[in-house]
Amino acid sequence: MPNPSPRVSRPGTEQLGRGLNWSTLSSLIRLSNQSGTMLLMLPTLWALVLASRGRPPASLLVIFAVGSFLMRSAGVVINDLVDRSFDRQVDRTRMRPLASGALNAPEALAAVTVLVLMTASLLIFLNQLAILLSPVALLLAAFYPFSKRIIHLPQAVLGIAFGWGVVMAWAAARNSLDHQVWLLYASVVFWAVAYDTIYALQDRADDARIGVKSSAILFGTRAWIAVGASVCGMLLLLVATGWLVGLGPMFYVVLAAVAGFLTHQVWKLRGPVSPVIAFALFKQHVWIGWAIFAGIWAGFL
């Protein structure tokens, strides 16, 4: 992907918003691409099935599915608000509503406020422990965009934020925080480092030019090793979680298949990776998440 020359922010860009219509809102929350929602939601479903020993209440499945969509939508709006000056300098992101001027900051703040309030309304259906844990999710989502300016591994911060849904889901299902949930939480952090490093490969040159930090820049040509080590950490922690919960053989059969697929994926990362291929490899992690979900459920049969 060619490196565009740095763009100077146009005077008055923040006042160019043309109103929050449906087309702009759908673009703002990435409605056409729900990979992020799936990657946030799936670990919460893992936690619900594990914590309820294969019999999660349908109500909790719906609450965490809807909550994942709303929270991820709020998260990308917060991210775009913080990163709008950076997004104008990257070909892949310069046409996002805030970066292009189709939407201004007050309008985006109104949208994120509504999304957060809608997410908060779901808390009335959860127990007190899950409610007490919920503010951490918002704080982590708000901190993540800033982490790209100060931490060389913001992918770990993303994992910490995405993984918090696991803790909340476990608390909602069990009204306790058993030691297994922390192993599962750590596995999600490792997983996020893996898939978001792949995602960051799309913008490595632009990020380096404009000063955004990422694991793709930190590890450089050794990014494939970092991804490989991260997925190994995820798989080992999932094995430990499954063993402590008492999952049956089918869970480990599925994990073995996932391990084989991930090995093939990591092998592809050893050479140059185009933005198109990087995005395709990233999206495959949604299917990996579904496979693990199915394996967990099968482990209780």
104 occurs within a structural domain:
yes
Confidence of residue 19 (pLDDT cuts 50, 70, 90): low
Q: What is the pLDDT of residues 44-94, one digit of tens each?
A: 999 999 999 999 999 999 999 999 999 999 999 999 999 888 888 888 888
| pLDDT band, residue 4 (cuts 50/70/90) | very low
Which amino acid belongs to residue 282?
A: F
pLDDT confidence bin for 7, thresholds 50/70/90: very low
How far is it, in rounded angstroms, from Cα 284 to Cα 253?
A: 19
CA pseudo-torsion sign 171, 297, 261, 236: positive
Domain, as residue range, for 289: 21-298
Helix or strand (DSSP H, E) at 120: helix 105-121
Cα dihedral 99, 100, 101, 105 in deg (nearest 10): -20
**Calpha distance 119→168 (Å, rounded):** 13
**Dist. CA 10–CA 199, nearest whole Å:** 29
**Residue 9 maps to a domain:** no
Q: What is the pLDDT of residue 15?
A: 46
Tens digits of residue pLDDT in 199-225:
999 988 888 888 889 999 999 999 999
Residue 16 in domain? no
Q: What is the pLDDT of residue 18?
A: 59
Q: Where are the beta strands (DSSP E) in the chain?
A: none
The CATH number of residue 269's host domain is: 1.10.357.140
Q: The pTM is what? A: 0.90
Average pLDDT of the chain to the nearest whole number? 91
Contact 169, 68 (CB under 8 A): no
Identify whether 15 is part of a domain.
no
Answer whether residue 30 is part of any domain. yes
Q: How confident is the model at residue 102 (pLDDT cuts 50, 70, 90)?
A: confident
Q: Is the pLDDT of residue 287 over 60?
A: yes
Distant-in-sequence, close-in-space partners of 120: CB < 8 Å, separation ≥ 6 = 134
- The answer to whether position 270 is within a domain reads yes
pLDDT of residue 37: 96
Q: Is the pLDDT of residue 266 over 50?
A: yes
Quote the pLDDT of residue 20.
65
Q: Does residue 113 or residue 9 have the better pLDDT?
A: 113
In a domain, 140, yes or no: yes
Looking at the structure of the chain, the number of domains it has is 1
Arithmetic mean of pLDDT, 157-186: 97
- Tell me whether residue 8 is in a domain: no
